A and B are shown apart, each in its own frame.
Chain A
């Protein structure tokens, strides 16, 4: 059973920074692309970022480009999302998700809540 454990969320002021982590286990982490997806409280899902299995290709949604950085450490089976210059509108539950060959996400973390507020 694939396990993904999200952590690192919290309350931060606008302009602040946070680093989210996603610890993976029970699958060959280094061979799969990974994503971050967020969900605004009470609202829908928004894809945030993708990183290829080797870390050499990354994509971001426009609203986070230049502020967020996705990375991974395959030796630690861990995915990261460095979030800088946070805005109120970044408030959401952030999920890491494992890429499936079809492009869908076949496993998700439990989510970590990021609240940006003064």
Chain B
């Protein structure tokens, strides 16, 4: 199985900050990576697929990059609604696997 390791697991930041979350895969997955945002009590929502393609309707302050084994999710200027938990997921083979999550909280 492909393991995904996110860092950091917890991040405290302020509105307006630029933040980056990293996802490392245990083996190469080309660009087959998605990022999700999850708020408490809600289902996850896809932000980015194919490592860098923004899902329709997602604000442009979100961006993704990377290929192979290292990927990043960047939020260019944090808004109050962005404080949530973020997960990466590999989409290259089965079993699909997720990172352990990064909890983003207001400083």
Of B17-25, B67-75, B88-96, the one contacting chain A is: B88-96
Contact in complex: A100, B46 (CB < 8 Å): yes
- For B35, give the chain A residue with the smallest CB separation: A104
- Taking a contact as CB atoms closer than 8 A, the residue among A46, A50, A59, A106 that contacts B55 in the complex is A106
Contact in complex: A104, B89 (CB < 8 Å): yes
Interface of B, helix, strand, loop or mixed by DSSP = loop
> How distant is B90 from chain A, measured CB to nearest CB, in Å?
8
Contact in complex: A44, B94 (CB < 8 Å): no
- For B6, give the chain A residue with the smallest CB separation: A44
User: Which of B46, B87, B92 has the most chain A CB atoms inside 10 A of its CB?
Assistant: B46
Q: Which residues of A contact B96 (CB under 8 A)?
A: 35, 47, 50, 103
- Taking a contact as CB atoms closer than 8 A, the residue among B92, B95, B101 that contacts A44 in the complex is B101
Q: Which residues of B contact A50 (CB under 8 A)?
A: 94, 96
Given contacts A103-B32, A105-B46, A108-B45, contact A62 B53 (CB under 8 A): no
Q: Can you list 15 contacts pairing A with B, beta carbon distance less than 8 Å?
A: A44-B98, A45-B36, A47-B89, A59-B95, A100-B46, A102-B91, A103-B34, A104-B46, A104-B89, A104-B91, A105-B36, A105-B44, A105-B46, A108-B43, A111-B43
Given contacts A44-B100, A102-B49, 5 further A-B contacts (CB under 8 A): A103-B32, A104-B34, A104-B89, A105-B34, A108-B44
